[in-house]
Structure 1
């Protein structure tokens, strides 16, 4: 099997290129499909393709952060991924402190700068929450 390809989808059809013979083939991808083995019709090479259905790019990261519930209550957490629209946060043992729709502040350090952003909890799963930004990055300046 060839090296896997990572493809960001812009619609239902995607053009996949064979790494061996450089041939192209179009495939229809359903909304729930995250990965698919694709066999080249020319040379027979099989490639594992991973599909990203999100519109914004999500980058993995591992950095400490602080979630602020109120001026007197905060919790230490770890950021696991970032996108232009939100964050993925690891919250070991603190899952019961969060619920969907909750408005909070998050403070973290990025590129040498301390950043504080307003967030809204969107998804709560065991050990992890997904949040979306409710303010602009430059609104605090």
Structure 2
């Protein structure tokens, strides 16, 4: 990646040229590190352009929620939202597989627990119903450990 702060104009790997990772097309991405875009389960869907990242974290005048906003001085908000959507698409796929497995086992009373995990309305086009507000995540099969114990079976474990 390219440095935008200290050492501006230089690549992080000290090479002459480097990719601008904030603009990498999604099909060309094989691994996502979510720190700057915020972790998907944080449900942060708002950007912040008011302060540079270093000052944002040190500011005592800001709430924790404000400090957790996506720092638009170091990332592109639309790119972050697309990356977060990929993670939530994977979680949605997991939920569908769990619903199918639970249905096959005849445990229909457990379906609503899985479905409740994607009833959120916050930026549903990105978070797929897993967030009820900025910073408010709904866990997968909350309180239903027996459902979560089925996950290894989806990946070939006995």
Fold-level match, TM-score > 0.5?
no
Larger proportion of strand: 1
- Give the number of the structure with larger relative contact order, counting CA–CA contacts within 8 Å between residues 6 or more apart: 2
TM-score, normalised to structure 1, is 0.26
TM-score, normalised to structure 2, is 0.24
Larger proportion of helix: 2
